[in-house]
């Protein structure tokens, strides 16, 4: 299976050469663990190599993410300005849509279903996608029981049908609260987590690939750090 580079040195060997092309991978972890930075690396690396990207933001301000990317030396502004990186800013546009829906009597539930149509339109001819984050999507749809999977399924399949290599970010606490609904559908899963270091009061970052179809898993946890240049895999 063809692989798409993650943009992080040392990560691709753990994934069998990179993220599986045309498939979706779930990335979970606690707040501040580096999920968004993994996504920034993925978009910057692939846009820099000539691929077209899509960034969907549901909980993060675009200007904050762009500032973070710039500070890491992974500036995304040139790709956005050239049209090579498309942005669906759900975080800001949803408020406007909700106001319009209320005024027109359309109903917010219908507005959220329209989001699938928006993603479908934007993902045409797109190679790589970062969806940040699934937690807001499930919460906004008031999902219970098996409903989260039913809501995620059409989104996942739209991107898969278009051959997009997608990285779905989700807070691990929200993931547990939603009974791990995305685990069953995604092609692979990477978990980020903290572990108390020997030095008292310090937490170290670790990651593990807990699911990746079509390959033998490297189940050991691997340490990583967040530096001024982004993610650095330890001992690489």
Domain count, the chain: 1
Query: CB count, 10 Å around CB of 215?
Result: 15
What is the CA angle 203-207-212, rounded to 5? Answer: 165
Is residue 197 very low, low, confident or very high in pLDDT (cuts 50, 70, 90)? confident
- Domain extent for 224: 3-233
pTM of the model: 0.89
The CATH number assigned to the domain holding 100 equals 3.40.50.300
108-122 and 90-104 helices, crossing angle to 10° = 130
Q: Which residues contact 82 (CB under 8 A, 6 or more apart)?
A: none
- Mean pLDDT (the chain) is 88
Confidence check: pLDDT of 172 > 50: yes
Q: Tens digits of per-residue pLDDT, 136-167?
A: 655 544 444 456 677 889 999 999 999 999 99
Confidence check: pLDDT of 199 > 80: no
């Amino acid at each position: 299976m063809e692989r798409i580079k993650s943009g992080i040195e040392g990560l691709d060997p753990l994934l069998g050469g990179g993220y599986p092309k045309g498939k979706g991978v779930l990335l979970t972890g606690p707040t501040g663990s580096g999920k968004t930075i993994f996504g920034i690396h993925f978009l910057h690396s692939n846009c820099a190599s000539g691929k077209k990207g899509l960034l969907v933001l549901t909980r993060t301000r675009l200007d904050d993410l762009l500032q973070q990317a710039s500070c890491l030396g992974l500036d995304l502004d040139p790709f956005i300005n050239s049209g090579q990186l498309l942005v669906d800013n759900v975080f800001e546009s949803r408020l406007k849509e909700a106001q319009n829906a209320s005024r027109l009597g359309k109903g917010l539930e219908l507005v959220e279903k329209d989001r699938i149509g928006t993603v479908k339109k934007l993902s045409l001819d797109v190679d790589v996608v970062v969806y940040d984050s699934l937690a807001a999507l499930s919460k906004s749809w008031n999902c219970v029981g098996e409903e989260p999977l039913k809501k995620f399924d059409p989104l996942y399949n739209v991107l898969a049908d278009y051959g997009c290599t997608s990285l779905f970010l989700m807070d691990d606490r929200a993931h547990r609260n939603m009974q791990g609904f995305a685990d069953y559908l995604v092609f692979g899963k990477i978990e980020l987590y903290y572990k108390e270091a020997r030095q008292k009061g310090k937490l170290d970052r670790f990651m593990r690939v807990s699911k990746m179809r079509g390959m033998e898993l490297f189940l050991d946890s691997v340490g990583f750090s967040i530096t001024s240049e982004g993610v650095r895999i330890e001992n690489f």
